[in-house]
Chains A and B, each alone.
Chain A
């Protein structure tokens, strides 16, 4: 079975500080992994994706994530938080051999303190 665990439902950082949002997955086959961002009353926007190429993935808005198979992790980072980064972040996994059903974590709400 496939699943995603996001540690920390709420994370607060100061503006300019490092952002670290944690995601661990379980998958019976090589996974594809994603991070999405959701602003209030909006749909999901893709930040970045891992699809078995480079393990360090760079996305939009300065975010990046590293796929670590040994740790079954795909944590999201950004060196310097901006006020505009305040949003809900979701990690998701899908199977590399079907690509149809996405399994999402429960989300992490990021607050940026000025």
Chain B
């Protein structure tokens, strides 16, 4: 069984640029959630995708967008990067729309300069 994987591991971007982060869900899981974890904080929910449709969104601006593909992998896109976007971005996969057991990937560390 393959766990949740994320790429890249680390990324450095300049303010105003755009970034795409990728996540492959655990085998058999059709739901992917994205979280932002700022340094010293708990993860904050960005949004969730279930069967390629957005299924809930946290308090993040529209410049945070996502996609889920037919194989249930997912992308997180952030436009017009700001310094405060520097964080660890975590992807979690689960089974079903109401699946409560989420399995997390190792995260992508984004630094915005």
Interface residues of chain A, those whose CB is within 8 Å of chain B, are 4, 32, 36, 41-46, 49, 51, 90, 92, 94, 97-107
**Stretch from B12-20, B39-47, B65-73, B76-84 contacting the other chain:** B39-47
A43 is contacted by which of B33, B58, B105 (Cβ under 8 Å)? B105
A106 to B43, CA, bound (A): 8
Task: Check if B48 sits within 8 Å of A100, measured CB to CB.
Answer: yes
Task: Check if A99 sits within 8 Å of B99, measured CB to CB.
Answer: yes
Task: Check if A100 sits within 8 Å of B104, measured CB to CB.
Answer: no
Task: Report chain B residues within 8 Å CB of A103.
Answer: 45
B100 is contacted by which of A32, A44, A107 (Cβ under 8 Å)? A32
Task: Check if A99 sits within 8 Å of B100, measured CB to CB.
Answer: yes
Number of interface residues of B (CB under 8 A): 29
A-B contact pairs, 21 of them (CB 8 A): A43-B4, A43-B104, A43-B105, A43-B106, A44-B92, A46-B102, A49-B100, A94-B100, A99-B100, A100-B31, A100-B33, A100-B98, A101-B45, A101-B48, A102-B43, A103-B45, A104-B35, A104-B43, A104-B44, A106-B40, A106-B42
Known contacts A43-B106, A98-B56, A100-B55; is-contact A90 B101 (Cβ 8 Å): no
